[in-house]
Amino acid sequence: MIHSLYRDFFQFIKSIGGRDDRWRLFVRHYYGKHRDFLSRVWFHSQGFTEENIRERVERIRPGDYAWLQGALELYNIELKTAGILSHCEKVFPNTVYCTGHCDAYLFIGFFSPDAFVIEHHGESVICVGLERYRRFRHYPLLLAHEFCHCVINRTLGPGNGRFHYKLVKEGLAVHFSKIAFPGRRENEYLFLRTGAYNDMQTQKRSIFEKLLREGERIGDIFHGQNGELPNRIGYYIGYLMVKEFIERTGKTDPVWLIEHAERIYMDFFYS
């Protein structure tokens, strides 16, 4: 099911006019209608407070989201999302463990990633933070990536923050997006510019050596928090691990691959 929360956000924008009671209007038209979901995203997943949100709301001006409204008039987000998810359900490896259905929430936040997965009412759901979008060229790849996470979480649970597991999980999501939408350049599936991808290729040996030395002590290698390594390097390494293992063994069951994450890691670095 697709939940189009963003439409109520635009109702809030439309209601502002010259009045200063933005928070009351925000609650009436948007936050109050979707408090359950938005609170889950902002306060539980992202760690913000209502004061953070209120401060941002008070700074909004009617023209701030005109670019997004224009983009969405040209890109039928509901139709595209439904089509992409339906396609992903058909091409996802058919195992006895996995259910291919995932809900998607199309909303407007203020600090959201462009796409991510959270637990909501006991189920993994896909969240799309539309405020991050200027174009939708990579939207199918983003949605396929998160669809893979959603199905894996629904099958195995969202837990297990072990280093090996995270690498394989992210690598598998990249690999699946390539299966679902083939024909793009390799860097696009990793959401990297060509130059950044080429730099990783060049530095691959030194990156692997550093990872072998430090292991889990290396820190966050997924979100650019490690100043000594390229941004998003964890996705690149995870993808290489999964790709090489599948090519060598023929194992394609995502659940099996996740459950054997440590073996995949050890085979990649020590075989």
pLDDT per residue as tens digits for the range 158-168:
766 678 888 88
pLDDT of residue 7: 96
pLDDT of residue 259: 83
pLDDT of residue 225: 56
pLDDT per residue as tens digits for the range 61-91:
878 888 898 899 899 999 999 999 999 988 8
Put simply, whether the predicted model's pTM sits higher than 0.85 gets the answer: yes
Looking at per-residue pLDDT, the higher value among 92 and 53 belongs to 53
Q: Taking a C-beta distance cutoff of 8 angstroms, is the pair 110, 117 a contact?
A: no
Q: How far is CA 154 from the centre of its chain?
A: 15
Distance CA(144)–CA(46), nearest Å, equals: 22
Given a cut of 50, is residue 35 above it in pLDDT? yes
47-51, 178-182, 207-211: least confidently modelled range: 207-211
- Strand duo 104-107 + 115-120: pairing: unpaired
Q: Nearest to residue 10, comparing CAs of 82, 76, 103, 106?
A: 106
- Most confident residue range from 121-135, 195-209, 227-241: 121-135
pLDDT of residue 185: 94
pLDDT band at residue 95 using 50, 70 and 90 as cut-offs: low
Please provide the average confidence, as pLDDT, over all residues in the chain: 86
pLDDT band at residue 215 using 50, 70 and 90 as cut-offs: low
pLDDT band at residue 268 using 50, 70 and 90 as cut-offs: confident
pLDDT of residue 165: 86
Task: Quote the tokens at residue 57.
Answer: 């709301």
Q: Taking a C-beta distance cutoff of 8 angstroms, is the pair 125, 183 a contact?
A: no
- Most confident residue range from 24-33, 217-226, 227-236, 244-253: 24-33
Distance CA(151)–CA(155), nearest Å, equals: 6
Q: Taking a C-beta distance cutoff of 8 angstroms, is the pair 191, 171 a contact?
A: no
Given a cut of 50, is residue 96 above it in pLDDT? no
